[in-house]
Amino acid sequence: MKDSTKYSGIGLWLLSRIISIRKNYGLFGDIEEMYHVVQEEKGRSKAKLWLGMQILRTIPHAVYNWLYWGFVMFANSYKVTVRNFRRQKLYSVINLLGLAVGMACCILILSYVHFEISYDKFHDRADRIYRLTMDGNLANMPFNLATSNGAIGPSLRDTLPEVEDVVRFRRRYRSSVAYTDKLFFEEGILWTDASVFEVFSFPLVSGDSEEALQVPYTAVLTEETAQKYFGSDDPIGKILKIDNQVDYTVTGIVENVPRNSHIDFDILLSFKTLEAVYPERFSRWMEDFDNWTYLLLQEGANPQAVEEKCLPLIDENMGRVIKLIGGEVVFKLQPLARIHLHSNLLGDVGSRSDILYVYLFSAIALFILLLACINFMNLSTARSAGRGREVGIRKVHGAVRAKLIRQFLEESLIHALISLVLALVLVQAFLPVFRSLSGRDLNVPYAEAGWLIPALIILAFLVGLIAGSYPAFVLASFEPSTILKGNPFLGKGKGRFRGILVVFQFAISIMLIIGTGVVISQVQHMKNKRLGFDKEHLLVLRVTDDRIRPSIETIKTELLSLPWIKGVGRSSHVPGWGARHNAVLPEGFSLENSQTMGIIHVDHDYLPALGIEIVEGRNFSREFPADAHKSVLINETAARTFGWDDPLEKFLTELDSRSISKRVIGVVGDFHFMDVRTLIEPLMIFLAPSDTNALTVRLAPGGDLAERLQSLRKAWNKVVPSTPFDYFFLDASLESEYLTEARLSRLFSYFSLLAVFIACLGLFGMAAYTTEQRTKEIGIRKVLGASSSGIVLLLGRDIGKFILLANIIAWPLAYWAAGHWLQDFPYRTPIHFWIFPASAVLVLAIGFLTTAYQSFKAAASDPVDSLRYE
Amino acid sequence: MAELTRLEEQILLSVWKLQDDAYGISIYEHIRDITRKKLAIGGIYFPLERLVKKRFLEAYKGEPTPVRGGQSKRYYRLTQLGKEELLANRRIQDTFWKNLPRIKFAGEESR
């Protein structure tokens, strides 16, 4: 009995608590009275039931009531916010935009970071897949190769129990692919093993994974590629003709490769084909190192242990050759998920990135957000300075402190949330620009990263709260009399903080502007670099079809009959493609000191066609038939490296299976056979026209290009009608080599723009604040006879001081950073010193413009108004 | 602010009617007796306080009574503003009712 009384007591208390939001005397008594009435009428147990029901039924009312008052209060805050917005349009827009830009930037960069770290994680077995890489030093040439020999993988699978499976990839050069009358040139062709569908998660949408790529001359296409060739027809069993010579049967269609895969392809060809055509190349561990090998390890296998177990195998299979040319080789196992961001090897795939960029960008994102938030707070505070009187009047009318705090906080929250919405709009608007800047086809991962939107909302709330807290707590705590009398603002401490912030932001802006200048001048430097040959008016025709090689001389003759063709040369490589490399023994060197050299194969006409200078000796000549076997040309760097003052008549021996010694008959001037970013290496040039991969055609300047191309195509088709005509312009292809730097210079200019914008926001906030503070001072100065221009100058002087200070900080840092960056370029621009003062002047001008509005307003104001301010 | 809701109108009228005896329970019972609806207790108190806030009602303390262990009841009384609001409400109602035309439904005798 006693217990039940207690329960009903608790129930009564609970009900009264729910109902009473404010001190509601007598409520408990009321409810108790009613309870007793019910108890008397219906009995104790019914009464308890009644009480429980009452509690339940009251809750909706309580919720409604809470919402009702919440809405009434919020509606009022909203109204005040809108009024303030209207009154200070410029400030409000700038403030909202500043925060929105900061947030948008942050969202974009976060999307980039999210995308970068998601690379290759979609493979189910990603944690067990490793790439076999080779480290070592051969013939005095240290190397870190992402690629390896094609025989290594299968023999590791057969000998080591830890290796469950192996997949090899090999890139096929750009080839023409034809189905009936449809012909396209494809860059994304990889040779690979049938196990690719077992080891990696590239799901087949049609075809049998047990059969696809199992036998020579089979192919698998991505959905997109299949669509291109076959439309709605079933591609399985259809035949593709590659480079107009070999037929491949389509055995499967694979889902399009995800964008965050470092292995990218459109067409897969069976590796078995290569093994059938070149059996000797894939039976030994040497000679050919152009394959990527991926190992699937057993569950729980230790990659280090596997690396160690490889050592005796290396010795067994490659030891003899390594001993011959001197050096050492080890294998490394690189985890799949680390390849995209943590790898920097020769032969890495193109889309590789660097974890440093991920860190750098994350830092920048955080930094921009932080600055935007601080500026938002500053501007909010500065803006609220003028609202002292509003607060005073509200207080006089009986507003309590809590209510004022709430109002300021709500106002600030409304601003922050509007900024967030604006930021999302900005993100959509700038996504295309950002895609081209980052070089990644990415989207904002709203769906993938479910935390993003809630996190942003929380962030907006936090920023709103923090930004509103200063005006809220400080303004609300003033005595109304003080506020109404005059300016309630406060000591210098806050002002100094703001000053430091402005200096800091401008220092960063100046650094970025200088950085932009340096990057742009480096790009210009590379573009204008003398390459050692005349890159204009050179057209390159690719030769990929083996069967047309015998007809090349005929094509040459046909082309040379055109009056506007000045020369045609055959070669294995053209500038930008690099060269093949091998160990070479120069005369007078011991075998342990053999040297690595680049080697290209040309015909008699190649060097004159490109305009490469012969600085000593002679070019290959038809008058000396022995040139084909016994003669070699070297570049100046080679002569210098070997210490040969008189290189002519010296002998060079390539250390391959034949090891034929050749006599130097001439020295060519150094020319860039790799891209402009790499140092020119020692180079040998052989006379071996049969190894032609390209025909380089020198055109006479001028003329109608389209017409000329048409004639070239006609000449080509006359000789080899079944092989498609594929060409490119050498200068354009060299241009694409500086794409990275060109993108970097764009990235820099955008970041500088952003930094300047954000810095100006900070400056604007500070200027608004100080001008507000000095209203009375300015009034008095004017009464005492100061001119308007004098006042503008007075206000501008402060800004000038800040920017000067920012320059002092920024210059040495920018100089150091630019020098550091340029270190990576063997051929680099000097740092032009005029960039420094130029950026200072630019920033100064922007700074003055930013504050001009306020300065002129203050200077032009009637002193009567400003002195009547009280 | 917005017009009175029906419940608010009923509460105001009850307070008017009950005069010096208008506190939570008596109002609750009055409305229950007339409308035959059993409201939740919260359904009475929240609107009551809202009406106080809108200044249509005034709350005051009653004498402490021994029955309640020395606690006093919270009584309500109509304000001038509340009365005006009620009258305005009634005028609106009356205007709606005024001069309504006859309406006849199927099966209904015309009167």
Q: Enumerate the H helices of A129-178 as residue ranges.
A: 152-159
| Residues making up chain B, counted from first to last | 111
Check: CB of residue A137 under 8 Å from CB of residue A325.
no
Give the pLDDT band (50/70/90) at residue B54: confident
User: What is the pLDDT, as a whole number, of residue B106?
Assistant: 74
In the predicted model, is pLDDT for residue A2 greater than 50? no
Contacts of B43 in chain A (CB under 8 A): 57-58, 61
Burial of A863 (0-12, 13-18, 19+ CB in 10 A): middle
**Residue A687 pLDDT:** 92
Looking at residue A231, its amino acid is G
Distance to chain B for A391, nearest Cα, Å: 23
Q: Which of B8, B37, B46 would you mutate first to test chain A, the one with the most A CBs within 10 A?
A: B46
Pull the structure tokens for residue A621: 């000549």
At A173, give phi and psi (nearest 5°). -60, 165
Question: Looking at chain A, which residue has its C-alpha nearest residue B68?
Answer: A29
Q: Which residues of B touch A13 (CB under 8 A)?
A: none
CA proximity to A854, closest of A191, A383, A323: A383
Q: Is the pLDDT of residue A505 over 90?
A: no
Chain B CA closest to residue A59:
B42
Residue A461, class by beta-carbon neighbours within 10 Å (0-12 exposed, 13-18 middle, 19+ buried)?
Answer: middle
Instruction: From chain B, pick out residues whose CB is under 8 angstroms from the CB of A64.
Output: 46
**Partner residue opposite B41 with nearest CB, options A54, A65, A68:** A54
**A375 and A755 in contact (C-beta within 8 Å)?**
no
Contact A32 B49 (CB under 8 A): no
Q: Output the pLDDT for position A90.
A: 74
Taking CA–CA distances from A18, the nearest residue in chain B reads B42
Q: Cβ of A340: how many Cβ atoms within 10 Å? A: 24
Whether A270 has a pLDDT exceeding 80, the answer reads yes
Mean pLDDT of the region B28-32: 89
pLDDT at A202: 93
Q: Find chain A residues with C-beta within 8 A of B23's C-beta.
A: 26, 30
Q: Token digits for A789?
A: 């221009």
Residue whose pair of structure tokens reads 């009531």 in the numeric block: A65
**Taking 60 as the threshold, does the pLDDT of residue A487 lie above it?**
no
pLDDT for residue A858 is more than 80 = no
Residue A772 pLDDT greater than 90, yes or no: no
Instruction: Flag if A27 and B42 touch (Cβ within 8 Å).
Output: no
**CB atoms B46 and A18 under 8 Å:** no
- Give yes or no for residue A71 having a pLDDT over 70: yes
Confidence of residue A266 (pLDDT cuts 50, 70, 90): very high
Render pLDDT for A107-148 as a digit per residue (tens, 0 to 9). Answer: 888 888 888 888 899 999 999 999 999 998 887 778 888 888
Q: SS3 for A562? A: coil
pLDDT in tens, B78-103: 999 999 999 998 998 899 988 888 88
Q: Which of A14-23, A640-649, A839-848, B31-40 has the lowest mean pLDDT?
A: A14-23
pLDDT computed for residue A39 by the predictor: 83
Tell me the average pLDDT across A479-495.
56
Which pLDDT does position A3 carry in this prediction?
47
Contact A544, A174 (CB under 8 A): yes
Question: Do A65 and B25 lie within an 8 Å CB cutoff?
Answer: no
**Beta carbons of A196 and A264 less than 8 angstroms apart:** no
ipTM confidence score: 0.71
Using a CB-CB cut-off of 8 Å, the residues of chain A touching B71 are: 25-26, 28-29
Q: What percentage of residues in chain A have a pLDDT greater than 90?
A: 26
Residue A608 pLDDT exceeds 50: yes
Band the pLDDT of A417: cuts 50, 70, 90.
Answer: confident
Cα(A502)–Cα(A482) distance, rounded to whole angstroms? 30
Mean pLDDT, range A235-240, rounded to an integer? 91
Whether A34 and B73 lie within 8 Å, measured CB to CB: no
CA distance A404 to A398: 10
- Percent of chain A, pLDDT > 70? 93
**Cα gap A28→A61, rounded to integer Å:** 18
The model's pLDDT over A30-54, given as tens digits with 9 standing for 90+, comes to 777 778 888 888 888 888 888 888 8
- Indicate the pLDDT class of residue B2, thresholds 50, 70 and 90: low
| pLDDT above 70: percentage of residues in chain B | 87
Per-residue pLDDT tens over the stretch A671-680:
998 877 788 9
Q: Report strand pairing: A239-242 vs A246-254.
A: antiparallel
Which has more pLDDT, A772 or A327? A327
Higher pLDDT, A599 or A491: A599
CB-facing half-sphere around the CA of A183: CA atoms within 13 A: 13
Residue A841 to residues A200, A342, A510, A804, A848, Cα–Cα distance (Å):
56, 41, 10, 10, 11
Q: Which residue has the higher pLDDT, A639 or A761?
A: A639
pLDDT tens per residue, range A718-740: 998 888 888 999 988 888 777 77
Range A65-75 average pLDDT: 75
Q: State the Cα–Cα distance between residues A248 and A270, nearest whole angstrom.
A: 9
Inter-chain residue contact A64 with B71, CB threshold 8 Å: no
Residue B95 main-chain phi, psi, to 5 deg: -60, -40
Read off the pLDDT of residues A531-562 as tens digits, 9 standing for 90 and up.
889 888 999 998 877 788 888 899 999 999 99
Interstrand relation of A246-254 and A218-222 (parallel, antiparallel or unpaired): parallel
* Mean model confidence pLDDT for chain A: 84
SS (H, E, C) A600-663: EEECCCHHHHHCCCEEEECCCCCCCCCHHHHEEEEEHHHHHHCCCCCCCCCEEEECCCCCCEEE
| d(CA B73, nearest CA chain A) in Å | 4
Determine, for residues B61 and A28 on separate chains, whether the beta-carbon distance falls below 8 Å.
Answer: no
| Chain B positions touching chain A (beta carbons under 8 Å) | 23-25, 28, 40-43, 45-46, 49-50, 61-62, 68-69, 71-74
> Is the Cβ–Cβ distance between A245 and A545 less than 8 Å?
yes
Residue from the list B28, B50, B73 with its beta carbon closest to the beta carbon of A29: B73
> Around Cβ A284, how many Cβ atoms within 10 Å?
14
Cα distances (angstroms) measured from residue A119 to each of A105, A122, A224, A367: 22, 8, 21, 25
Query: What does the H/E/C string look like for A502-522?
Result: HHHHHHHHHHHHHHHHHHHHH
CA A8 to chain centre: 67
**pTM of the complete model:** 0.71
Lookup: tokens for A766: 């500070």
For residue A141, the model assigns a pLDDT of 77
pLDDT of A763 strictly over 70: yes
Q: Give yes or no for residue A491 having a pLDDT over 60.
A: no
